[in-house]
Amino acid sequence: MKILIIEDEVINAARLKRLLEELEPDCEILAVIDTVKEAVLWLKNNHVPDLITMDIRLADGLSFSIFDQVQISSPVIFTTAYDEYAIKAFKVNSIDYLMKPIEKNELEHALKKFKAMAKNDNSATDIAGLLKGFMHRAVFRMRFLVNYRDGYKSVDVADVDFIYSEFKISNLFLKSGEIIPVSQTMEELEQELDPDVFFRASRQFFIRAESIRSISNYFNAKLKIQLKLDPEREVVISREKAPVFKQWMDR
């Protein structure tokens, strides 16, 4: 069995690879790919794998866009951090989803499902069509309900200029200049925010294109971002993430 892994989180990719090799000792992991762009190039230039495992969120966007750029005939097992309610529709279409962190027994069940599909020749399921349906169900966060005086107030995501973490607290920096702490961790926000709007520049920052004043080359192939509303705050994008950031900006 030849398997392609599309996953941008190193720890998750390594765990998935290990579990696959434990469950299918004769399998061949063809590649581990972490971006939409690389996935499209690989799929265009290589033989069709027997199976693809694919994360929903990749370093440069949602994996949905892969299906718009290249035809995929391989069965796909999706991995995702989305809540269960958002994926129930796909359970009845013989396409499995594994919620992170991936459990060995769930992966084993998904592989058995794949083998049953292959035996019955049901691999021609319209994955692209199903994904378009999912896109309508995958609703990103639109607002925050935050503590305010003796009650609460609603803050629209559109009013957030950037988000930063300080002393393990996530803070919304609003376009008005107001700073509001929220209860969500940066990891939780990464699953809730639209990746087309917010870029995870580092562990401490989410930025949006319009919040950037300037982009400068930094040492060791890193990038330094100056923010319009808070130019003294240092935002550094790592060498590994710099190419992904450039792709995100240049579209």
CA distances from 72 to 5, 58, 62, 68, 118 (A): 14, 17, 16, 10, 15
CA distance linking residue 56 with residue 192, whole number of Å? 13
Would you say how long the chain is, in residues?
251
CA 238 from chain center: how many Å? 18
Per the CB < 8 A criterion, the answer to whether 90 and 43 are in contact is no
pLDDT digits (tens, 9 = 90+) for 79-133: 876 554 345 435 433 467 777 778 899 899 889 888 877 776 544 455 555 555 5
User: So what's the pLDDT on residue 129?
Assistant: 55
Per the CB < 8 A criterion, the answer to whether 174 and 158 are in contact is no
Confidence (pTM): 0.53
Both tokens assigned to 234: 């240092």
Ramachandran angles phi, psi of 143, nearest 5°: -155, 165
| pLDDT per residue of the chain (251 residues) written in tens, 0 to 9 | 999 999 988 888 999 999 999 999 999 999 999 999 999 999 999 999 999 998 888 878 778 788 888 888 888 888 876 554 345 435 433 467 777 778 899 899 889 888 877 776 544 455 555 555 555 445 688 899 998 888 899 999 999 999 999 998 999 999 999 999 999 999 889 878 888 899 999 999 999 999 999 999 999 889 999 999 999 998 999 988 888 888 888 87
User: So what's the pLDDT on residue 213?
Assistant: 94
User: So what's the pLDDT on residue 139?
Assistant: 66
User: So what's the pLDDT on residue 99?
Assistant: 76
Please report the domains of the chain, with CATH numbers, ordered by start residue.
2-137 (3.40.50.2300), 143-249 (2.40.50.1020)
